[in-house]
Structure formats: C-alpha cells, structure tokens
Amino acid sequence: MSFFSDERAAELRELFFEGAQDLLQEMNEAGILIEADPCDSDALARVRRAMHTLKGDSAACGFRQLSELAHDLEDLLTPAFVAERGEAVAEIILAAADTFHAMLGVVRGNLQPPDITEFRAHIRTLAKLPASSSAPQPSQARAEWTPKEKAIVLEALRNGEVVHEIVLSVDPSLQMPAAGLQMICTALDHCGTVLAQSPASGVPLQTLAEVHVALSSSYSPDWIRTRCAVPGIVTSVSLTPMGMAESQPRDVLQMLLEAEAKAGSELTSTASDERDERDERDEHDQRDEHSALAGEETSRTSATAAGKTGSAEAWLRVENWRIDTVMNLIGELIIGKSMLIRTLQEFDRKFPKDPLRNRLGDAVSFQSRVLGELQKSVMKIRMVPVEQLFRRLPRIVRDVAKARQKEIAVEMAGQGTDLDKSVLDALAEAMAHLVRNAADHGIEAPHDRLTYGKSSRGTIRLNAFHQGNQVVIEVSDDGRGISSERLVQKAIQSGLMSEEEARGLSREEILNLVFHPGLTTAEQVTEISGRGVGMDVVKNVMNRLKGKVIVESKPGHGTTFQLVAPLTLASIQALLFRVDDRHYAIPLDSVLEITRANDSEIHEIDGHEVLRIRDQAFSVVRLDQLILDTKSTVKKMRHFVVTVAEGNRRVGLIVDGLIGEEELVIKAIEDRLVSSDLISGGSILGDGTVVLILNVPALVSHLGRKRTVGVPA
C-alpha cells in the first residue's frame, strides 16, 4: 500500500537522493573536524543529525539497508565513545560516507547493492551491539480505550476473532512524530484490522513515546512483530493476546453499548468541542516550536544559510530543466528585442520626421529595460555560491595526505562568489584533479619541508572572485613548484619537441606543457596520480567552457592555477564582424583593441604574417583563410585588425568589416553541422542572420601549434 502515486513516489525519491548528497557532505566535513578534534561536540552533533535524517528518510522511501546502517552508526556515535576513540570514529564516519555514496548510486540505478556485512559487523563490535535485534522492552500500562473502542474490541472477541494488544516503543530521537505515526499506521494496516489506537492518526503531536493498538489479525505474532518493526522509528514491539475474562458477565457489551447510547449526542458534541479547542492550541504551539527549531537547526548547520533564512519554507527546489526552459524563452525574447530595434532603425531612416518615431522608441526602451531585469532575475536563480564546490575538496586533500603521509591544511576564501550552476558542475572535475595533484605532487613530505626551512604542514589555498563577466578560481600551494628544466626534459624525452624548439619556448609556454596528455614530471606513478592525465582533463574542461587556465609557479615556493570561466553559458556581449560576407562574433571580454592597418604594414616572417604596433610585434591571421580555407580574390590595401588576448598572449584577427556590439544568446551547434573546434556556438540576429561565435582560446591554441609569434598582452 502506498499513499502516493508512482509519479509522486518517484519525485519524492529524487528529493531523497538530492537531500542525501547534502547529508553525506555534512558527514565528510564533520568527520574531518572530529579527526582533528575528537571533543568537537558541534561536529558530532552534525553527524548525528545527518545520520538520523538519513535513517528516517531512507526508511520512508523503503531503503531498509540504508536505514539500518544509519541506525547502527547513530548508536555508535555517543559523545563518550567519540572522545575516547576520536580518530577511529572519524575513519568510520568517512568510510560510512563513502559506503552510503556507493549504496545510493546502486539504489538509484537499480543495481545490485554492495555487501556491507563486514562493515556493519565492525560498527556493532565497536558499539558492543548484539548481532540480532534487541529484545522487546517491557511495555507500559495499558492504554485507556474510549467506550466506543471498547465496544468494538468486545464485539470482535465475541465473534471469535484473534485480538492482540500491541505496544510499539518509538525511537526517542524521532524528530517528526506525526510522520512516524503515519508510517506505523501503514504497517499496522498490512497486519490486520485496527480496532483501537492511541494516539489516533491525524492528531497533532509534539512527542511520541509509544503507540498502543488493539489489532484483529489472523497472522502469527512473530510475523506481526517483524512487520511492525519500522526501521528508524520503532525500537521494540510488545504483543499480548487479548481475551474476555471468565468472571466477566456475558452482557458486558450490551452494558457498554447502553452506556455509550445513554450519553447521546451531548457527550459527542462536548468531547468534539473540547478536542477541537485542544487540537487548535496544540497545533499553534507546535507551529511555534517547529519554527524555532527550524531557525535553530539552520543556524547550527550553516552560519551563511542562517543569515539568509530562518526556516525551511524559504527554499524551493526546482528542476534545472524548468529554469533552462525559462532561459530559452528569454533568449527568444532577446532575439525579438533585436528585431524590434532593427525595425525601429529602418523606420527612422524611412520616416525621420514621423511623430510616432519617439513613441515607438520609448516603448522599445521600456521593453528592453524590463527584459533586461527579467534576464538578470532568472540568471540570479541559476547562480550558486562556489562554496558548494569548495566543500567537496577538503575530503580529497585529507585522503591524499593520509595515503602519502603528509600534513596538509586547506584554506578557503571567496566562498560567496556566485556563478552559473552548469559552470560550477563542469568545474568540479577540473578542481578535483588540481587539488589532488597539489596534494600529491605539489606539497612535499614533512621531513623534506623541514629540510627546506618550511613548516612541516603544507597549505593548499582555494580562492574565487569575479573579474568582469568572468569568474576566476585559484588553486595554489606552498609546495615545491614546477621545475621548468625537468618539464622541458620530459617533453624532449617523450618526443613532443626537439632541443632546438625547446630553447625557443617562453616561461609561459614551458609551464603550459603540463597540460599535454601523457606528460608528467612525477617521479613515480601512484594510484592517485602521475600518469599525465589529470591536467589534460583540466584543459579540456576549460576549453568546453570557453575559458582558460593560467599557470604561475616559482620553484621552491609553490604553484598557482587560475581557472577563468564565464559566469554563464547562456548569453554574452559580443563584437560582430564580417568575413567574406559571413557574420562572426567573439566575446567582447577577449577584445583588447581594434585598429586599421595597411597591407604594407603586415610582414611575413618564417611563413607567418606579423604586424607591428607601438613597437610590439604579434601574429595576425586572415580569418577567411583559417576558417573558410579560401583566399579572397579582392586585393585590399587597408584592413580591420581585431586584437584578442588569451592569457598573456595576443593575436590579431584580420576581418573584412565591423558590424558592432550586441548581446547574443548562445545556441549550441551540433558537431555534424560544424566540425571545427574554432567555433564555440551560434546565435541569431534580429533580422534572422545566423552568427557563428569563435572560440578564442581554441583559436589562439591553434595558432600556437603553428609556432606563431606573440608578445605579452
């Protein structure tokens, strides 16, 4: 039996999986804190709250194995035991988080769950728990049934039905008694007919210690006990057969019925009024208490969240696709706005003195302003703090440090920096590789650091900040740094370049060799890193995001990686230009300057064209030859040159003509339509013209492989 439709149940399970990930993150963070300070009561409370919530939620969704494991861990994590064996408990907590993560993955994918028998046995041994379920605890005094309930019970007994009095002891740490009572009622419905129950379902509750039930059932007592033992809610089940006493007169039922009838409607109305009044007071008190508890819980969990909201009702979970749909519609509105602006410009040219022109201009301006505010509002919905990404990384550092016997601290700054959720998710893999490499290769062993005059504990710093329409995320360490000589030597040994080519590399180009697949300076390959794969992944991720990676390193002092990514992948401010009657665009942030150059000012060096401006020479490329693979038949004496920057390198793009600046809504282009990596996407102008957006990092990288000349920007 289920209270929800299949669609609603699937939605609730998805909510459970999402919430479970947050709970596992809480466990990881608190486990690291307990490992550092076993007496940290706040961290222990965070783990216990996470375990209790996971226990109840998994039981509600029918994931019994998850619920039982969470219950065992909750019994283990007592303050006294944690204070006595903090490091061992921290290992258990972190291992449990990994186990839960694996179990959630297989449950979500309907796969075979992992065997956790040994892990649970280890937990039970530590907690000194028996392998079997606890024996039922003696129940309290019988509940006082109402006259009507007594009549129903006696009628069942007179009809020869088997009636049991059941007392279900409820977990005292249960935080949602009403939901727990509802689940108990569901289990009882499967066992037989409930003749009497105290407390009754649907009654507002503040606490729930025991549930007393009179149940008519044909099932065996053992089967009923097993069915009623709801994981995470019921701690023990006491079952006693009920019967009519031998000395009891046979007309006792009639006496009870007569007593009930004699009371009449007056008794019913009086009891109902009193109950309604009491329920209203209890419900009001319960709301006040829940509101206070919600605020207290939020403040304990996260100081940042507490500053934003005092209750759970302030948050609303929305699927990503719903927001994406709204963004797509806004994109269409932006295209419509461009159409209106172009139409208005055409109207101005044809009817420059028409009085309607000003009114149309005011209407378009108002529409543009409102549309701009709407776009900003939706973009804010998509924005999430980078803290969600940073929170996952200390666990990675901790595991690497423990495996490599190092001491590493993690410092964070700029956690409140916002960026698009899709960008953040894409950066997660790159950040994991950077942090893992910093811990494994960057930070030295404690004895080596002491030899170099450093502290035995290394530090990895994470920072994030906005830079125009981009976000910059830094991963830096105070380790050994990158040796240019060793990196070049590895590149030559791997056949990536010759010694002569290596001598012509700048410091920046040498450091960028770390992103070449298969190239590594690691002295030994470990299960963590050392195969030259991770940094290639970082580069590919940033290329997909149309971003860039900047490397700075000083041997003996450390290395800093800067990931520069767009705040959003939805729209950009772009510069539009023409090449051979086709429209192209590049992000305005990449443009350094626009200049005109005579054909005589462009010189050829080693087969590559170079332009010299203000005593600086840099490579230029004719886009008609690079993209269209054609050469213009018209000989031009004067050209437009758009200078773009990628990192510390700049390149000039020779174009046929400039169109102007415009906000473009980025549309993905299928690979079968455009196979070149020099195109990052497309857009549509107001007049229906298709514009291809150039991938500036890929463009500069392509020219770099051709060994073009460049100077710092």
Query: CATH for 571-705, among 3.40.50.2300, 2.40.50.140, 3.30.230.10, 2.40.50.180?
Result: 2.40.50.180
Find out whether 519 and 491 touch, Cβ atoms under 8 Å.
yes
Q: What CATH number was assigned to the domain covering residues 147-245?
A: 3.30.70.1110
Residue 616 vs residue 594, higher pLDDT: 594
Flag whether pLDDT at 2 surpasses 80.
no
Which amino acid is residue 551, in one-letter code? V
Residue 458 — very low, low, confident or very high, per pLDDT cuts 50/70/90?
Answer: very high
d(CA 524, CA 12): 47
Q: What is the mean pLDDT of the segment spanning 446-474?
A: 89
* Predicted local distance difference test score (pLDDT) of residue 137: 39
* Predicted local distance difference test score (pLDDT) of residue 148: 75
Q: What is the pLDDT of residues 421-453, one digit of tens each?
A: 888 888 988 898 899 888 988 899 999 899 888
Find out whether 92 and 123 touch, Cβ atoms under 8 Å.
yes
Flag whether pLDDT at 7 surpasses 70.
no
Q: What is the mean pLDDT of the segment spanning 184-211?
A: 80
When mean pLDDT is compared across 122-136, 236-250, 625-639, the lowest value belongs to 122-136
Residue 376 vs residue 577, higher pLDDT: 577
Residue 468 vs residue 260, higher pLDDT: 468
Q: What is the mean pLDDT of the segment spanning 169-195?
A: 82
Residue 204 — very low, low, confident or very high, per pLDDT cuts 50/70/90?
Answer: low
Residue 676 — very low, low, confident or very high, per pLDDT cuts 50/70/90?
Answer: low
Radius of gyration of the chain (CA): 35
Q: What CATH number was assigned to the domain covering residues 386-566?
A: 3.30.565.10
Flag whether pLDDT at 561 surpasses 90.
yes
Q: What is the mean pLDDT of the segment spanning 211-237?
A: 86
Q: What is the pLDDT of residues 20-57, one digit of tens each?
A: 888 888 888 888 888 888 778 888 888 888 888 888 88
Question: What H or E segment, with its residue span, contains residue 76?
Answer: helix 64-76
The listed range with the strongest mean pLDDT (132-146, 150-164, 621-635) is 150-164
* Predicted local distance difference test score (pLDDT) of residue 300: 40
* Predicted local distance difference test score (pLDDT) of residue 412: 92
Q: Which one, of 53, 48, 102, lies nearest residue 76 by Cα?
A: 48
Find out whether 225 and 237 touch, Cβ atoms under 8 Å.
yes
Residue 643 vs residue 298, higher pLDDT: 643
* Predicted local distance difference test score (pLDDT) of residue 327: 80
The two beta strands, 582-587 and 690-694, are: parallel
* Per CATH, domain 6-127 is 1.20.120.160: yes
Flag whether pLDDT at 682 surpasses 70.
yes
Torsion of CA 445, 446, 451, 454, to 10 degrees: 110
Q: What is the pLDDT of residues 256-301, one digit of tens each?
A: 344 444 444 443 444 444 444 444 444 444 444 444 433 444 334 4
Flag whether pLDDT at 692 surpasses 80.
yes
The DSSP 8-state label assigned to residue 667 in this structure reads: B
3-state secondary structure 367-406: HHHHHHHHHHHHHHHHEEECHHHHCCHHHHHHHHHHHHCC
Residue 474 — very low, low, confident or very high, per pLDDT cuts 50/70/90?
Answer: very high
Q: What is the mean pLDDT of the segment spanning 572-584?
A: 87
* Predicted local distance difference test score (pLDDT) of residue 706: 53
Flag whether pLDDT at 701 surpasses 80.
no
* Predicted local distance difference test score (pLDDT) of residue 508: 82
When mean pLDDT is compared across 204-208, 254-258, 279-283, 687-691, the lowest value belongs to 254-258
- In the chain, domain spans: 6-127, 147-245, 320-384, 386-566, 571-705
d(CA 233, CA 711): 69
Residue 576 — very low, low, confident or very high, per pLDDT cuts 50/70/90?
Answer: very high
Q: Which one, of 137, 162, 140, 142, lies nearest residue 234 by Cα?
A: 137
* Predicted local distance difference test score (pLDDT) of residue 413: 92
Burial 636-654 (b: 16+ CB within 10 A, else e): eeebbbbbbbbbebbbbbb
* Predicted local distance difference test score (pLDDT) of residue 477: 93
Residue 464 — very low, low, confident or very high, per pLDDT cuts 50/70/90?
Answer: very high
Average pLDDT taken over every residue of the chain: 76
Residue 704 — very low, low, confident or very high, per pLDDT cuts 50/70/90?
Answer: low
Q: What is the mean pLDDT of the segment spanning 195-222?
A: 80
**How far apart are the two ends of the chain, measured CA to CA in Å?**
69
Cα four-point dihedral sign 139, 144, 148, 151: positive
Flag whether pLDDT at 132 surpasses 50.
no
